[in-house]
């Protein structure tokens, strides 16, 4: 059981960072003072919600900002958990008002999964099906919803088979994400790793070079600190 728990913990940690979250922060441009500005952003959105009837768009914005706050700024695990749970709650409110909102289902999934990961592996296993259901529903609503395609692809290639993992299907979702929006650079990194595994070195290099050259990457804060350096390292390994 301990070995299974370690495997699950490692797998889920990997798929949670494709977001959207990992899926990570939705912001493509970072305002002055980011990420410290996120706390004020949350308070501003909460104030707007208190002033009138909450709209799905506003609730989704709040959910995504809570996710950014937990991922990019907060260090204390209790505060991060609180932010993820608040983000999941806001997204759920949004799709309860308008079930056709793909972003609402996506942000419910990434916040819910991230919160579970902070709690325990047991909690992760308990919410895997709910996370997958939300992501698949987002894709059903919008077949070109790139963050959901990226997240689903990462889920399928990282989860063990007994939790529904399927590398071939995962690759197909990742390739769809790239076709829908090539600025989701985590999808390109994951695909490059699969291509390398398959001996498709030239194709892997194309994906990694696209990550490095991206001029408008989603999740810019994480792209600068994680995705671009990782792509540079992998490309160097393939070229040596």
Residues 164-202: tens digit of each pLDDT: 899 999 999 999 999 999 999 999 999 999 999 999 999
This prediction has a pTM of 0.87
Lowest mean pLDDT among 11-15, 129-133, 217-221: 11-15
Nearest in space to 158 (alpha carbons), one of 148, 146, 167, 149? 167
Residue 54, burial from CB neighbour count under 10 angstroms (0-12, 13-18, 19+): middle
Q: Does pLDDT of 63 surpass 80?
A: yes
Q: Find the mean pLDDT for residues 21-41.
A: 73
Q: What was the pLDDT predicted at 120?
A: 76
Q: What is the pLDDT of residues 96-143, one digit of tens each?
A: 999 999 999 999 999 999 998 888 777 778 888 999 999 999 999 999
Looking at residue 29, its pLDDT comes to 72
pLDDT band at 159 (very low <50, low <70, confident <90, very high): confident
Question: What domains does the chain contain, in order, with CATH numbers?
Answer: 2-180 (1.25.40.10)
Contacts (Cβ under 8 Å, ≥6 apart) of 211: 185, 188, 189, 192, 217, 223, 227, 228, 231
Q: Please say whether the beta carbons of 231 and 212 come within 8 A.
A: yes
The two tokens of residue 9 are: 């913990």
What is the chain's length? 240
């Amino acid at each position: 059981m301990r070995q299974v728990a370690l495997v699950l913990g490692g797998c889920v940690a990997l798929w949670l960072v494709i977001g959207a979250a990992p899926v990570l922060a939705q912001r493509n441009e970072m305002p002055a003072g980011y990420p410290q500005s996120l706390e004020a952003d949350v308070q501003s959105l909460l104030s707007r919600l208190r002033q009138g009837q909450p709209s799905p768009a506003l609730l989704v914005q709040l959910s995504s900002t809570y996710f950014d706050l937990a991922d990019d700024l907060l260090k204390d695990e209790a505060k991060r958990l609180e932010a993820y749970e608040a983000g999941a709650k806001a997204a759920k409110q949004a799709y309860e008002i308008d079930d056709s909102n793909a972003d609402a289902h996506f942000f419910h999934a990434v916040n819910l999964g991230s919160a579970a990961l902070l709690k325990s592996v047991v909690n992760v296993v308990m919410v895997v099906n709910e996370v997958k259901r939300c992501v698949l529903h987002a894709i059903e609503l919008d077949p070109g919803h790139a963050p959901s395609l990226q997240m689903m692809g990462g889920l399928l290639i990282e989860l063990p088979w007994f939790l529904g993992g399927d590398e071939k299907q995962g690759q197909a979702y990742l390739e769809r994400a790239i076709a829908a929006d090539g600025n989701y650079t985590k999808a390109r990194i994951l695909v490059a790793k699969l291509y390398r595994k398959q001996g498709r070195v030239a194709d892997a290099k194309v994906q990694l070079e696209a990550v490095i050259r991206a001029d408008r990457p989603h999740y810019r804060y994480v792209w600068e600190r994680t995705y671009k350096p990782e792509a540079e390292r992998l490309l160097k390994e393939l070229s040596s």
